[in-house]
Chains A and B, each alone.
Chain A
């Protein structure tokens, strides 16, 4: 059980890393791109916009002082 847990923890750390919200945000951005791509609207900007939001947000969470 401990080995399975360690194996899962390794892959979680390898793929997801320190902030799962970034991974979740990427999945949402790709899903929105996929959904909107079925229309005639341009969708190439959605993922870069997500990066422009997710990266500063994650950094802000990392450097903000801990709550008391």
Chain B
């Protein structure tokens, strides 16, 4: 029960973040160019993702669990550390915050200046490719997270439900307000997802390499809060370091 809730929450949050980014791109393509072409791009992107999931999903279930946990745990850990690194840099003021409204305006400006080109059944090729790329690139991360979490926990259907729910909720919100979802606390979500990916990746990776966790799956209940506290501590340390550097007279910093 607990593992199922953790699986659902981790996949839902990670997929929601990616869905917000894809929605911003599709909204820009549809608003500035042509909704029909943009939505055709979405459909084509979803088709590509469905093929990827249909091929990779069954293939993952054929790999022995230990090998799967080692490979997938390692990948998730690298992936999670990447997310967490960026999230800590953003939270401590060393990297610009992810601003969905600004990204939308940039995409909109780019879309408004591009030339219109008719190709085959697509009235506006630029709107089609912009939407298609957005859906495929962000969707690949969704598919990767859902498949890896699902296969490791032997519950791909639950992971798929979590991923689809996140995409449906975000897409419905985007369609309802026809504006970038700037109110979604994306930076906080990314921080949380980075913690979850890092924790699950460390757990599965170590287990796949042959380690035995004290308390078995219950070790995750300690690991996740420990990674969270560590990450928050790093944010505080980096903020303190920046404040000290700002206060120091020029030429006195190491």
Contact = CB atoms under 8 A, between A and B. Distances in A.
A8 interface: no
A46 B89 contact: no
B238 A34 contact: no
B223 A48 contact: yes
Nearest to B213: A44
B84 interface: yes
Q: Which secondary structure dominates chain A's binding surface?
A: helix
Contact of B206 (A46, A56, A62): A46
A26 B81 contact: yes
B42 interface: no
A32 to B, nearest CB: 8
B206 A30 contact: yes
Nearest to B79: A15
B253 A33 contact: no
Given A23-B78, A47-B205, A59 B234 contact: yes
A14 B78 CA distance: 10
Contacts, number: 106
Interface string A19-32: 10011001100110
B106 interface: no
Contacts of A38: 210
Interface string A38-56: 1000111011100110111
A44 B206 contact: yes
Contact of B209 (A23, A33, A48, A59): A33
Contacts of A44: 206, 211-214, 219
Nearest to B85: A58
A65 interface: yes
Interface of A: 14-19, 22-23, 26-27, 30-31, 33-34, 37-38, 42-44, 46-48, 51-52, 54-56, 58-59, 62-63, 65
Given A27-B74, A30-B205, A43-B210, 10 more contacts: A26-B78, A30-B73, A30-B208, A34-B70, A44-B219, A48-B202, A51-B202, A55-B81, A59-B85, A63-B241
